[in-house]
Structure formats: C-alpha cells, structure tokens
Amino acid sequence: MNEVSDTARFSTMEEPNIVEIRRIIQKRASITGYAFAFPATLLLAVIILLPIAIVIFLSATDYTLGALNWSFVGLTNYEKLLSDAVFWRSIKNTFLYVVIVVPGSVGLAFLLALLVHERVHTKRLYEIIFFLPVTGTLVAMAIVWQFLLHSRVGPVNLLLLENGFERIGFFTDPNLAMISLAMIGIWQLIGFNLILFLAGLAAIPKDIYDAAALDGVDGGIDKLARITWPLLGPTTMFVTITTSITAFQVFDTVAVLTKGGPRGSTDVLLYQAYLEGFQYFEIGYAACLTLVFLTFILLLSLVQVRFFDKRVHY
Amino acid sequence: MIDSTISLSKIVKKFDATPVLRNVDLNIESGEFLTLVGPSGCGKSTLLRIIAGLEMQDTGSVFIGGRSVDHLRPKQRDVAMVFQSYALYPHMTVAENITMPLLMQRMSFAQRFPVMGRWVPGSQHIQKNIRKEVETVAEHLHIEKLLERKPGQLSGGQRQRVALGRAMVRRPLAFLMDEPLSNLDARLRVKMRTELAELHQRLGTTFIYVTHDQVEAMTMSKRIAVMMDGEIVQLGTPDEVYNDPQDIRVAQFIGSPPINILPGEVNSAGNLSLFGVECRYRINGSNQKNVKIGVRPEDLQISEFKVGLIERGGLRGWLRRLENLGNEYIAHIDMDCDDGHWQIAVRFPPEELNGIGQPGAAVNIFLNEAKIFVFSETGDRLSGEAMLQSAVEKAS
Ligand SMILES: Nc1ncnc2c1ncn2[C@@H]1O[C@H](COP(=O)(O)OP(=O)(O)O)[C@@H](O)[C@H]1O
Ligand SMILES: [Mg+2]
C-alpha cells in the first residue's frame, strides 16, 4: 500500500470515525458517571429516604411494638391525632418554646457578638466560655440546672428565701416550667449562635467601616443600623432558621427535668412521639406525630433554601 | 479661593515597635495633584489614612486648609477617600451609596431615622435636594443608568465610578485616592487615568493619589513624592525624579526596564572607572573609593563587537536576549569582569539594530557619561561631571 492511498483512505474514513468514537466515549463517560454516583445515591436512599418512607408507611398502620398482627388503618391515626387534645397541647407547648428560644438566643447572641468582637486580646477567651454549654452534654447540664433551680434545695431558691422573697417553682409551677426550660435552651444555644455571628462580623471588610467613618456614619447606632445589621442579614437569617430547627427538636431537657409535667405544661411534640412510641408502644400513632414534626422541619428548611437561593449574596 | 492646602509636619507612626512612617514632611498646594509613589509596604496607605483621620499618628501634625485637624474625626476633616477595594456598601443601591455622605451631613438624627424620618419636618425637602445632586454627580460620571443597581451587579470600572461619585458628591476640600485603579484591567486603567486627570482639572480640588505603579505616577501629575521605607526620599516633577534621582532607591524604582547599577571605582583624583575602563567623569569632592554607577537602558549604546572599539572606551559584553517591542528593542547583556557577573539592559530604536541579534554574540557597550548617576555605597547621590565629549559621540 503506498502513501497516497493510505492518506486518502484515512481522510474518507475520518468523519464517521470521529463521530462514532465520540459517541462511544460519551456513553462510557455517562456510565462511569452513574457508577461513581451510585454509592452516594444508595447511601442517601438507605439512610434518609428509606426511613422516612417507613415512617410514612407505619403511620398508616395500627402496628404496636412487638405485635404479631397489624393492619392498615388508612388515615385513622391522623383523625385521632386531630381530635387529640394532648397533641394540640404539645404543639402549643413546642411553639411557645420556639417563640421564646429563637428570639432570645439569636438576639442575645447578636448583642454578645457585637461586644465580644470589639475585644482584642480576650476575644478567644469569651468565645470559649460561651461555647462551653454547646460542647457539654445537655442531659448532664440539665442535672446541674435541676439542682440549681430545685424548688426546695436549689441555691437560687435558697437565695430568694434569704432575701425575703417567695420560693419560685421553676419546674413545678405549670406557668413557669416551660419558660424555665426555654431559658436553659437559650443558655445552651447562645454559644453556637455567637460563633456564627462572630464569623459574620469578621467577614465584613474593615474598609467599609473606614468609608463609613468618612461619610459620617461613625455613631454607634448609625453604624449598627446602616452597616453592621444589614450586612449581617444573611447570617441572621441562617442563625434564625438553624435555631428554629434546633428549638423544635427540644426533648432532652423535657425528658430529664419535667417529663412533660407539671400537668402537661411542658409536654412537647417530640416528647409525645417518644411516649407514644417507646412507653405505650403505639408505633403507628408515634409515626404520625413524627411526620408532623418532620413537616415542620421540612418547611423551615424550605424557607432557608429559598432564601439563600434567591437572596443576592453581597 | 478656598484654601485646600495639606501639610504634614514630622509625622511619625509605629505599629507596635515597627516604625512605618519616619518623620514625614510634605506640603501640598491648593488644587495640586500630587502622586505618592513607592513600593508596597512603604507606608503610603498609612500616610493617607493619617491624613483622613482613620489612623492616629504617634507624633507630628496634619494641617488641612491651614488648620490643624489632629483633634478632628474623619468626617470633620472634609476630605474624601477612594479605596483600592472601593469599599462600597454592598447592601445599598448605587444611589444610596452616593447619597450616604449627604444624608449624614445634612439630615438630623431624627430626619434620617429609617421609615419614621420622612415625617420629621424638613426631611422631604432635603431628600429631594440630595436626590438632585446625586443625579448630577451620576451624570458627570456616566452612571445615571446604574443608580438602582447594587454594587455586586456592577463591573470593576463601574464600581470605581460609584466610589468616585460617593467621594465627589460632598465637594470635599481634598480627595485621597489609595491605588484606585489597581483592580482594573490594563486598558481600563489607562482610560481612567485620563479621566481622573480631567476630573481633577474640572474640580480644581487637591488630589493626593497613591500608587505603587511608577507609570501612573509619571503620567498623572506635575509633582511626585517618592516614598521608601516610611520616608519621602524625593519630591519633584516627573522629569526631576527620572533624570535627577537623589537616591539610588528612587533611581531603581522609577523607570522600566529598571536602571542598570554597575560597580564603579574612584581614584584619588576623583576620576571614575567602570570595569577597569576609565570613564570621562569626575566626582566632586568625595573620598569614596567604591561607588555605584546608575545608567538608564536608553543611555547606553550598543554596537557589533569590533576590537578597535575597546580601545576607544567601549566595554565588551555578550548578548543574552533581544526583546522586540515594535518601536524599540531591549537587549539584555551579560558582562563579566574580575569582581563577578553583571547583567545590563540596553534600550535602542530599531534603526540602531545593525546586525545585532545573535544570542551569545559579543557586543560593544558605550556609556553616555553625561547621563550617568553616581551613588555612594549607601545609596546617596554623589555630584560629579562628565568631561569633554562623551564616548558615545566619539564612537559614532
Ligand atoms: N494596622 C496595622 N497594624 C500593623 N501593621 C500595619 C498596619 N497597617 C499597616 N501596617 C504595616 O505598615 C507597613 C506599611 O503599610 P501600608 O501603609 O499599607 O503600605 P503601602 O500602602 O505603601 O503598601 C506595612 O509593613 C504593614 O504591614
Ligand atoms: Mg496600600
């Protein structure tokens, strides 16, 4: 075969060849792609989607833990739920907790962050101190709070008595118990929010404050209202939503300190689900409660996702 | 005419124990465009921030418009600053950004109070006037169409204009600009250079323009202050700074490609020699033995190597690399002598190419003694004079 015909053949073959090769490569690439994505997808399905599907399935049954017979009951569990005064009370209590804890822990953390941010040498020290409650196990911490606020032997009450005040039943007064738990919730969440706000503050370029000082924005209130607060907007949104989600999940302190009492005044959604599922073994009904809980969390997550998708990040 | 002079008197600034500004004295005339140029970290920004009141000097005084401003806060000093990062308020529209200085200046705390402020007497009227002025400034800068956008939606050049607008709208006594063009691409930078110069002409206010770019410094102003290690080492016209540098650091900083620094020797009679070849140059009243000779690439002449030329004062080197810049050539030459290896650059027009171009080929270098600068070992300029006609003329 001489050179000329060789090249000639090559040039006629060239085009279909390349198209063909491209197709094969593309096909191979997509197979490889799916192969790589497969383990992660499998994990996602097994760890997250499957359990949720099971909960949804269970919520439509009358299954009780350990029972041999169970049957589909359709929406019966939900009907029962809607007419259950205990359920509505737990919803009310949960919201009360969230409504106190979210503004409290976000607002206080914001103010503390402004103060701590100004510190030069002691900044790290304050960060560590305020972060301690976050690292401590809440159950263990709750026992300390139980002692501190105990209605008879608690130092707080002894101090009140000594100074001529009445005892306060922090965990025994139905009007106070939820507020006491909320205070502990705030105490526990502040550190984490503080760290997030401090990160937000550190991300504001110093130049902006310099430009502001030249423009006349140098008073504390002006600086806060015109620069710092708006620039911390995205951080505040994030902190508020994550705090809401955490507050919604209140359980440990209730379980350790009040067991939903006194007179059901601290009976929250997750504690109800726990009681139904693990004390009364009403798995179907507990699954129903869990789904209500998941719906709230999902809504909050959606707000967060939408907000951060739409909002232009400065 | 409003007095917008700026005077600095013996400004000293240390960060911790590190001196950043050492005894800076500087007088800027009313309406002058002064460029402050120096390598990164020499203290230019710090000096500007001290003038603006963003940083406090350790000792010394700042005078703006003839009065001492040391006790005044930044907003009271009546100067505007343009930052390298622009420092626009990212959460505000362009209009709000430009409005900010006027808002803070003209409205009382109650009047500018968010939402409620609009019902405070007088606030509507002031707002309307401010809006008009903001629009005028925006038109001047050709950003009137961008007023409702946020800085994040603007290009670098547009942000730059907004930053200028925010500075202009107050009609300050002086503008302080800290490397305002360094974040722009090369083409836009050249365009903005001209625009800034025109802006200065139109406004007639004092500009202090900080840059580390010597080309910007040379092209933009009538007077340049060259700063090194926290000191102003030379203050003069671009011509003086280029053609009569008083310090070796100034000579090395200004000019591209940089000036060639070569080792010289001075004999007891004051005669200078380079690489053992005597030059027609005499140092006036100095007992230095070893000196440094500075010669700009365009003040050297290059030709093909001929043995005869060495006798007539030429130096021998080897061509390492030739750069063709279109309107000129830059030749990089290796020089070897007893005390080591030296590399020098020669700049010449295409007409003088004459067969030069083979890397590794030997070439002759001639010094134009009338154009050399001699510095002491510590970098101070030594006075001296070229004698008779220069070697360059002789060679040609
Ligand atoms: N706030 C500060 N704290 C400590 N050192 C600083 C501070 N600001 C500037 N410096 C130092 O001062 C020197 C001069 O800085 P600067 O004025 O920004 O230089 P330039 O603007 O000429 O590049 C640098 O060495 C820098 O590290
Ligand atoms: Mg700087």
CA–CA distance, B127 with B137 (Å, rounded to integer): 15
What CATH number belongs to B258-395?
2.40.50.140
Q: How many CB pairs below 8 Å do chains A and B form together?
A: 69
CA–CA distance, A95 with A219 (Å, rounded to integer): 38
CA distance B69 to chain A (A): 14
Task: Tell me how many degrees the CA angle B227-B230-B235 measures, rounded to the nearest 5.
Answer: 30
* CA B40 – ligand 2 centroid, Å: 6
Q: Which two tokens stand for residue A8?
A: 């000639």
The ligand that comes nearest to the alpha carbon of residue A206 is 1
Q: pLDDT tens across A202-251, in order?
A: 999 999 999 999 999 988 888 998 999 999 988 998 999 999 999 999 98
* CA B43 – ligand 1 centroid, Å: 6
CA distance A49 to chain B (A): 38
> Is the pLDDT reported for residue A11 higher than 60?
no
pLDDT at B313: 66
Q: Which residues surround ligand 2, an ion (CB under 5 A)?
A: B 45
CA–CA distance, B202 with B314 (Å, rounded to integer): 52
Determine the atom of ligand 1 nearest the C-alpha atom of B210: 21
CA–CA distance, A194 with A106 (Å, rounded to integer): 8
Q: Compare A170 and A4 and report the one with higher pLDDT.
A: A170
Chain B residue with CA closest to A206: the answer is B87
> Is the pLDDT reported for residue A287 higher than 70?
yes
Chain A CB contacts of B74 under 8 Å are: 210, 213-214, 218
Give, in order, the Cα–Cα distances in Å from B234 to each of A80, B38, B253, B372: 89, 11, 12, 18
Topology annotation, domain B6-248: Rossmann fold (3.40.50)
CA–CA distance, B82 with A215 (Å, rounded to integer): 11
Domain ranges of chain A: 1-59, 84-309
Q: What is the pLDDT along chain B (396 residues), one digit of tens a residue?
A: 688 899 999 999 999 989 999 999 999 999 999 999 999 999 999 999 999 999 999 999 999 998 999 999 999 999 999 999 999 999 999 999 999 999 888 888 888 877 777 778 777 888 888 889 999 999 988 998 999 999 999 988 899 999 999 999 999 999 999 999 988 888 888 988 998 999 999 988 999 999 998 888 888 888 999 999 999 999 999 999 999 999 999 999 998 889 999 888 888 878 888 887 788 888 887 777 888 999 999 999 888 887 766 666 678 888 999 998 989 999 999 987 766 788 899 999 988 887 777 788 888 888 888 888 999 888 888 888 887 654 444 444
The average pLDDT across A82-106 equals: 92
Domain ranges of chain B: 6-248, 258-395
pLDDT band at A94 (very low <50, low <70, confident <90, very high): very high
pLDDT band at A14 (very low <50, low <70, confident <90, very high): low
β-partners of residue B364 are B303, B316
pLDDT at A308: 75
**Does residue B42 have its Cβ closer than 6 Å to ligand 1?**
yes
CA distance B295 to chain A (A): 41
Non-local (6+) Cβ contacts of A86 within 8 A are: A264, A267, A272
> Is the pLDDT reported for residue A264 higher than 50?
yes
Chain A CB contacts of B79 under 8 Å are: 214
The DSSP code sequence of A183-238 is HHHHHHHHHHHHHHHHHHHHTS-HHHHHHHHHHT--SHHHHIIIIIHHHTHHHHHH
Q: Which residues of B touch A (CB under 8 A)?
A: 49, 52-54, 73-75, 79-81, 83, 85, 87-91, 100-101, 104-105, 114, 150-153, 166
Chain B residue with CA closest to A221: the answer is B109
The CATH architecture assigned to A84-309 reads Orthogonal Bundle (1.10)
CA–CA distance, A173 with A100 (Å, rounded to integer): 18
Candidate of B11, B13, B15, B212 to mutate for ligand 1, largest count of ligand atoms within 8 Å of Cβ: B15
Q: Quick check: B89 and A212 CB within 8 A?
A: yes
Candidate of B16, B44, B46, B211 to mutate for ligand 1, largest count of ligand atoms within 8 Å of Cβ: B46
Q: pLDDT tens across A191-200, in order?
A: 999 999 999 9
Residue A259 · residue A251 · CB < 8 Å:
no
**ipTM attached to this prediction:** 0.83
Closest residue by Cα to residue B172 from B331, B57, B52: B52
Residue B292 · residue B375 · CB < 8 Å:
yes
